[in-house]
Copies of this chain bind each other. A is one copy, B any other.
Amino acid sequence: MPTPPFPDDAGALPATPAFSPLYQQIKDLILQSLQQGEWKPGEAIPSEIDLAARYRVSQGTVRKAIDELAAEHLLVRRQGKGTFVATHAEQHVQYRFLRLVPDSGDRDANGPAQRTILECRRSRATGDIARALALRSGEPVVQVRRVLSFAGVPTILEDLWLPGGPFKGLTAEQMADYPGPTYAMFELEFGVRMVRAEEKIRAVAADEQQAALLAVSPGTPLLSVERIASTYNGLPMELRRGLYRTGDRHYRNVLA
């Protein structure tokens, strides 16, 4: 199936050589299958040998493609068992996207966050929301406002905007009651897997309303975290604006 990486057949010399290694083509094919839901989060994909046969390629080439996808956390290899589609529904990668940790470092000190849904309603995208979600102004979105508390202490105030199409039918109950990460619920209920995110972080002062919801004094410095999360194809599927109390917690980042 994958064309061997020969120079183009047509006589016209291409401005871009458009050379793409075989393993890259295989990677794209696997990515396509993930995108189309041929293999769902948590499921095993076919063995390397099967994939090699399917794509008429050596096992080594498939291996290199899978290696890269595993490095990007789209797949997870498990020796002796197989290769699996990564999912947010795993104890072990639970907090891949939440960087706020207790100063003690012990993340599980006070268990999972309690969620309080303040609001969950359909609305229409304003200019900047639309821009962030690659929609047009006025297109339907789902808007959620919630507070996350740890050990009873309100710590994060978040607003979420989700594109109305893929998230049609999302309810406050779903947001509140699902046992596990919100992104795991998105996978299960809406078939949307968040794969990558970009965050912009600032320091801001709490206004009256924010202060009340987070039980701090107005003017308290808070971390403002704006996140755009995207799926396999790179299309943005969530805009999130959070305010983090950083009294006894901090945003942890590793530069490598």
Within the complex, which residue of B71, B72, B203, B253 is in contact with A246, where a contact is CB–CB below 8 Å?
A: B203
Question: Which residue, A202, A244, A251, has most C-beta atoms of chain B within 10 A?
Answer: A202
Interface stretch of the complex, out of A50-58, A172-180, A219-227: A219-227
Asked if A199 meets B256 with Cβ closer than 8 Å, knowing A71-B71, A221-B221, the reply is: no
Within the complex, which residue of B99, B223, B255, B256 is in contact with A203, where a contact is CB–CB below 8 Å?
A: B223
Interface string of A245-256 (1 = CB under 8 A from B): 010001111111
Instruction: Tell me if A122 is interfacial: C-beta within 8 Å of chain B.
Output: no
Instruction: Tell me if A189 is interfacial: C-beta within 8 Å of chain B.
Output: no
**A198 lies within 8 A of B255 (CB):** yes
Question: Which residue, A99, A251, A252, A254, has most C-beta atoms of chain B within 10 A?
Answer: A251
Chain B nearest CB, measured from A78 CB (Å): 17
Asked if A199 meets B252 with Cβ closer than 8 Å, knowing A204-B221, A219-B219, the reply is: yes
**A251 lies within 8 A of B201 (CB):** yes
Q: Return the chain B residue nearest A195 by Cβ.
A: B256
**A256 lies within 8 A of B72 (CB):** yes
Q: Return the chain B residue nearest A105 by Cβ.
A: B200
Instruction: Tell me if A131 is interfacial: C-beta within 8 Å of chain B.
Output: no
Interface string of A183-227 (1 = CB under 8 A from B): 000000000000011111111110000000000000101111001
Chain B nearest CB, measured from A71 CB (Å): 7
**A201 lies within 8 A of B250 (CB):** yes
Asked if A222 meets B203 with Cβ closer than 8 Å, knowing A253-B253, A256-B73, the reply is: yes
Q: Return the chain B residue nearest A194 by Cβ.
A: B255
Question: Which residues from B are CB-within-8-Å of A197?
Answer: 254-256
- A-B pairs, top 6 by smallest CB distance, nearest first, are A203-B221, A202-B246, A221-B221, A201-B251, A203-B203, A197-B255
> What are 20 inter-chain pairs, A to B, with CB distance below 8 A?
A71-B71, A97-B255, A99-B253, A99-B255, A196-B255, A198-B255, A199-B252, A199-B253, A201-B246, A201-B250, A202-B223, A203-B204, A203-B223, A203-B246, A205-B205, A205-B219, A219-B219, A221-B221, A223-B223, A253-B253
A interface list, Cβ under 8 A from B: 71-73, 96-97, 99, 196-205, 219, 221-224, 227, 244, 246, 250-256
